[in-house]
């Protein structure tokens, strides 16, 4: 089985890569900047804001089947923004490029590889902050981008179901990473274990699901 994880150099992505590599399965991580040191698996450079870089992932796979694509890369850059004068257009553009456009372009680039596998799966890491029913305010760009990628996943699930490719969307938990902060409730290894179990359970019967890392259905 071959898995490709975007944004695998640190945080939840790195924990997922290490946990999957430990099973003996083939795992590929994408990174930006310097090649990660001391990490298992194979690595491909990919800049999430550069469409050409994402398009190059397809040729880099050289036609090899891809069983699982995990779209983990994301940014959360609007915590400190204020409603009255914050949230500049450039920040909207950057966060949507990374959190929404990049997942779509990555899927587009790797669709031939997913089609070459039997029963391939796509896992999109969204967030509980995507939920319309849980909207306490603030972080407008991040919330909007995660809601958009949730919608993207639901529609991809409909379009790819006839091809036998299942799509799941997941809230990874509030994780102690650079993004989640030191006060978060779980560590990256716990999140990774839960998510890997969710990926294993994903099937055509459950395609389009929005679930938490520990297996609970998440409200939309």
Give me the helices (H) in 117-184, please: 140-160
d(CA 109, CA 111) in angstroms, rounded, equals 6
Pairing of strands 26-31, 42-45: parallel
| 82 phi/psi in degrees, rounded to 5 | -105, 150
User: Annotated catalytic, 76?
Assistant: no
- Residue for token pair 């991040």: 142
Kindly report the number of other CB atoms within 10 A of residue 101's CB atom. 19
Detail the DSSP E strand segments found in the chain: 2-5, 26-31, 42-45, 68-71, 121-125, 166-171, 210-212
C-alpha span between 81 and 84 (Å, rounded): 9
Pick the closest to residue 121 from 153, 74, 75 (CA basis).
153
- For residue 168, give Cα distances in angstroms to 34, 68, 70, 106, 201: 30, 11, 10, 16, 10
Instruction: Give catalytic residues, as residue numbers.
Output: 142
């Amino acid at each position: 089985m071959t898995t490709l994880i975007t944004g695998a150099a640190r945080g939840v992505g790195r924990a997922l890569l290490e946990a999957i590599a430990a099973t003996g399965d083939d795992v590929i991580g994408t990174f930006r900047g310097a090649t990660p040191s001391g990490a298992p698996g194979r690595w491909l450079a990919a800049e999430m804001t550069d469409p050409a870089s994402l398009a190059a992932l397809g040729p880099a796979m050289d036609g090899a089947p891809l069983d699982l694509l995990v779209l983990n890369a994301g940014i959360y850059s609007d915590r400190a923004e204020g409603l009255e004068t914050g949230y500049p257009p450039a920040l909207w553009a950057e966060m949507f490029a990374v959190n929404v456009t990049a997942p779509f372009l990555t899927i587009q680039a790797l669709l031939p590889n997913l089609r070459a596998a039997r029963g391939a799966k796509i896992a999109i890491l969204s967030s509980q902050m995507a939920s319309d029913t849980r909207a306490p305010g603030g972080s407008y760009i991040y919330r909007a981008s995660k809601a958009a990628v949730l919608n993207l996943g639901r529609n991809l699930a409909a379009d790819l179901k006839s091809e036998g490719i299942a799509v799941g969307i997941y809230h990874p938990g509030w994780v102690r990473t650079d993004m989640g902060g030191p006060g978060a409730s779980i560590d990256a290894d716990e999140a990774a274990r839960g998510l890997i179990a969710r990926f294993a359970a994903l099937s055509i019967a459950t395609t389009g699901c929005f679930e938490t890392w520990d297996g609970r259905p998440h409200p939309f």
